Structure 1
Amino acid sequence: MVRNRSPTFENRQAAGKRLGEALRERDIEADIVLAIPRGGLPVGRPVADALGVPLDIAVAKKIGAPNNPEYAIGAVAADGTVWLNTDVIDRREIPRDYVANTRAEMADAAKQKAQRYRDPESSPSLTGKRVCLVDDGVATGATARACIEQIQQADPERLVLAVPVASPRAISDLEALVDEVVCLEIPSEFRAVGQYYEQFEQVSDEVAMSYLAEE
């Protein structure tokens, strides 16, 4: 991994091109790139093109804390695979019924998003495959963790996590869950993923899906 002081990416596509170059320089090979919608798809497309492999999706939804939905206490993938930050849940004394209800709600939302992006019957087999999971950045790591656990259940040959920028704590936690991490920037004073992009506008589902349609 590379640690630089002033990470800056023009936009997600530019970050994806740099990420693809970094993967090629490391001689990392893959059979498929999975991007986390929505922001991961503009990054994943140039990565998939650089590696010469198909692009697909890995979908998960964050489980937010009560009265603070942006603070992740866990995440759940489209197939129901869940990761919970039990330390935070216990420390904040978050009610178990809240966790269970929100988990079910987010699992349904993740499943619906995955179905909106592609036909469930066209979901690729990952067994024995070399998989590269891509997002536009990692803050808490909750969503990436749920996706990683979902992918690992499919028994891939190898799983690489590739992101342009991440917080030191999150990337350290995620390193133990995959075979390799490629992260271009790990700023010590990380605050938010968007901080490291000149352009970081919201990506609509329609725009995100257009990257899947590209050849």
Structure 2
Amino acid sequence: MLYDSRTTAGRALSASLGHLRDSDPLVLGLPRGGVPVAAAVAQALDAELDVIVVRKLGVPWQPELAMGALGEDDVRVLNTDVLAQTGVSPSALADVEAAERRELRRRVLLLRGDRPRISPRDRVVLIVDDGMATGATAVAACRVARAQLAARLIVAVPVSSAEAITRLEAEADEVICPLVPLQLNGVGGAYRDFHQLTDHEVTTALGT
């Protein structure tokens, strides 16, 4: 099974999300690749659409390993077990955090501008990405949404590894994914068109 594009993947994903329509979900896309998927989902569910801008705090010598995450409104989540296991010093953590906080502000300004964030507080929140290989970014997004007091948290992606699904099941109330191949060699392998999105494409999908 191959998706033609992120938009068609979002439409296909929506077929598994009809049970959420009556809950008035807030659909949050993960920039960049998750935004056109989320836009198609929001359109199908007649739901509000926004982005959830998160920055993973990666271990300096193993950036894919998240020692925490940053989100809007000064949300800061630390993975104390990873910090203990890796022995990252407070100064090294502070350096990574400063750099990621700058990038977070840049992305928020780019993607949202003066438009206020739609609060996830007390809402059913649907976090959407174009796929999950390790699930690290989705985990960061879940923890930020939890910190922002989402009432119920669902992660939905068109394709994922089995390992990432298991990882997210410990973070979200529900994980929905129609395509879980026996071996995922990369999210892009599930798409005919998986080009690197431009900032303009992302803001267009958001309607900004």
Give the TM bin, normalised by the shorter chain.
Answer: 0.7 to 0.9
Structure 2-normalised TM-score?
Answer: 0.86
**Equivalent residues in 2 for 1:196-211, closer than 5 Å:** 196-211=190-205
Identity of aligned residues (%): 36
Query: Aligned-pair distance for 1:187?
Result: 2.2
Residue in structure 1 matched with residue 14 of structure 2 by the alignment: 20
Alignment partner of 1:173: what SS?
helix
Of the three residues 159, 170, 195, the one matched with 2:164 is 170
Tell me the residue number matched to 1:149: 143
Amino acid at match of 1:134: V
- The residue number in structure 1 matching 2:101 is 107
> What 5-or-longer segments of structure 1 have no aligned partner?
1-6
What TM-score comes out, normalization by structure 1 length? 0.83
SS at match of 1:165: coil
Matches of 1:22 and 1:136, distance apart in 2: 15
May I ask how many residue pairs the two structures share in their alignment?
206
Residue 36 of structure 2 aligns to a residue whose secondary structure is helix
Note the aligned Cα RMSD (angstroms): 2.3
Amino acid at match of 1:38: R
What secondary structure sits across from 1:125 in the alignment?
Answer: coil
Whether the 8 Å contact between 1:159 and 1:180 is mirrored in structure 2 is: yes
Offset at residue 41 of structure 1 (A): 0.8
Q: Does 1:191 align with 2:195?
A: no
> How far does the alpha carbon of each residue in 1:3-30 deviate from its partner, in whole angstroms, 9 at most, with x for none?
xxxx422211111110111112xx1233
Q: Distance in 1 between matches of 2:65 and 2:171?
A: 22
Partners of 2:154 and 2:174 within 8 A in 1:
yes
Which stretch shows the higher mean deviation, 59-68 or 203-212? 59-68
- Who is 2:2 aligned against? 8
Question: How far has the Cα of 1:91 moved from its partner?
Answer: 4.8
Letter in 2 for 1:28: L
AA aligned opposite 1:123: R
User: How far apart are the structure 2 equivalents of 1:88 and 1:126?
Assistant: 27
CA contact (8 A) 1:167 1:187 kept: yes
1:4 corresponds to: none
In structure 2, stretches of 5+ residues that fail to align are none
**Deviations 1:91-141, CA, capped at 9 Å, x for gaps:** 555444223211221122112211221146611122221211101111222
Q: Go from structure 1 to structure 2 and tell me whether the alpha carbon gap of 1:10 and 1:59 turns closer, same or farther (over 3 Å shift).
A: same
Answer whether contact 2:77 2:144 (CA < 8 A) is retained: no
